[in-house]
């Protein structure tokens, strides 16, 4: 039997979200634009879109969060700028779309306006480490590092204001992969702990750095060096985890309980 799967066109959706990032102006910006139109200036340079401004702040290290408001993209959709149903798709296949939106942010990230002097980033540490080790080394191409290591921001999705909040017990299997909004009472909050996002290792044989992206709570550490050098020499280089080249994000666990009026 032939199974017909509905095709999701991620390329088209990416292009549309990209357009949203570049063009979306909220109501406040729109009124400013009207004023500018009377003057002889380029609107986009004077008032870049709301999300380009957010990216700019990240690039200039004035912020480390991108809050993607679904109400904004809903307004953009309602105005007919993107295909109907895009917001629904984001809400029902959220994990996949978060990755997509991350990639769009990476792509659109502007260059910082001012040179940044201080080093505070895992990647800077690695580069310095390599330079110290080998002065004659050619500058490394940043693209060979996992993108989670080079990002200086976190992406958050803000649900639609109109979205119905669920009671905890209403969340069930049909919500898997969806963005859900729940209402409850927080009864316990853990301390802030570091959560490993990218594990960095170095090989005892060839000195190569190897990275492993972590997507789950538990990881199986890499043991053997996969580098070309070690393969060519036919040796099994042992990998050692290097905390200096690992990327951690703050992480906190909360316990939630049903609201009293929902239990009755
Ligand atoms: Zn090796």
pTM of the model: 0.79
For residue 147, report the distance from its CA to the centre of ligand 1, in Å.
Answer: 22
Taking the centre of ligand 1 as the mean of its atom positions, its distance from the CA of residue 250, in whole angstroms, is 31
Ligand 1 centre and the CA of 140: distance in Å?
Answer: 18
| Res. 154: pLDDT tops 60 | yes
Residue recorded with tokens 């800077």: 124
The residue among 155 and 28 whose pLDDT is bigger is 155
Q: How many angstroms does the Cα of residue 252 sit away from the middle of ligand 1?
A: 35
Distance (Å, rounded) from C-alpha 23 to C-alpha 116? 28
Residues 6+ apart with CB under 8 A from 27: none
Question: Domain coordinates of the chain in residue numbers?
Answer: 7-137+149-183, 185-264
Give the pLDDT confidence score for residue 155 in this predicted structure: 94
CA–CA separation, 155 vs 58, rounded Å? Answer: 11
What is the model's pLDDT at position 185? 92
Distance 227 CA to ligand 1 centre (A): 5
**Which parts of the chain are beta strand (E)?**
65-69, 154-158, 166-167, 182-183, 185-189, 193-203, 209-213, 239-241, 247-251, 254-257
Instruction: Report the chain's mean pLDDT, rounded to a whole number.
Output: 84
The percent of residues in the chain predicted with pLDDT above 90, rounded, is 50
* pLDDT for the residue numbered 207: 87
What's the 233 CA to ligand 1 centre distance in angstroms?
9
Q: Is the dihedral of CA 67, 60, 146, 105 positive or negative?
A: positive
Q: Residues near 206 by Cβ (< 8 Å), separated by ≥ 6? A: 225, 227, 229, 230, 233, 237
What 3-state DSSP class applies to 241?
strand
Average pLDDT over residues 117-129: 65
Specify the DSSP class assigned to residue 115: -
pLDDT at 122: 67
Residue 220 C-alpha to ligand 1 middle, in angstroms? Answer: 19
Give the CA distances from residue 253 to residues 159, 186, 190, 201, 256, in Å, rounded to whole numbers and listed in that order.
20, 10, 5, 27, 10
Query: From CA 230, how far away is CA 238, in angstroms rounded?
Result: 10
- The encoded tokens of residue 237 equal 């280089």
141 has a pLDDT exceeding 70: no
The band of 30, judged by pLDDT with boundaries at 50, 70 and 90, is: low
pLDDT at 182 over 60: yes
Q: What is the pLDDT of residues 228-261, one digit of tens each?
A: 889 999 999 999 999 888 888 888 999 999 988 7
Centre of ligand 1 to C-alpha 128, Å, is 20
Strand pairing report for 193-203 and 239-241? antiparallel
pLDDT confidence of residue 256: 92
Binning pLDDT at 50, 70 and 90, where does residue 70 land? Answer: very high
242 alpha carbon – ligand 1 mean position (Å)? 14
- Cα distance between residue 66 and residue 17, in whole Å: 14
């Amino acid at each position: 039997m032939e199974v017909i799967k509905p095709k999701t066109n991620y390329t088209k959706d990416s292009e549309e979200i990209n357009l949203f990032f570049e063009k979306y102006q909220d109501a406040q910006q729109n009124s400013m634009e009207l004023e500018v139109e009377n003057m002889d200036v380029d609107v986009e340079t004077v008032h870049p879109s709301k999300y380009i401004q957010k990216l700019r702040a990240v690039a200039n290290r004035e912020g480390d969060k991108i809050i993607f408001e679904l109400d904004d993209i809903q307004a953009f959709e309602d105005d007919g700028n993107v295909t109907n149903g895009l917001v629904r798709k984001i809400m029902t296949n959220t994990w996949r779309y978060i990755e997509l939106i991350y990639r769009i942010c990476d792509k659109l990230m502007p260059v910082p306006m001012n040179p940044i002097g201080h080093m505070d980033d895992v990647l800077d540490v690695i580069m310095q480490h390599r330079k110290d080790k080998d002065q004659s080394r050619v500058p490394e191409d940043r693209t060979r590092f996992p993108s989670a290591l080079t990002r200086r921001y976190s992406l958050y999705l803000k649900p639609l204001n109109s979205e119905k909040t669920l009671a905890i017990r209403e969340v069930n299997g049909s919500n898997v992969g969806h963005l859900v909004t729940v209402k409850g009472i927080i009864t316990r909050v853990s301390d802030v702990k570091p959560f490993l996002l990218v594990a960095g290792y170095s090989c005892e044989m060839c000195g190569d750095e190897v990275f492993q992206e972590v997507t789950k709570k538990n990881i199986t550490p890499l043991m053997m060096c996969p580098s070309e050098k070690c393969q060519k020499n036919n040796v099994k280089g042992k990998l050692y985890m290097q905390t200096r080249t690992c990327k951690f994000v703050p992480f906190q666990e909360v316990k939630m309980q049903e609201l009293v009026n929902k239990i009755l």
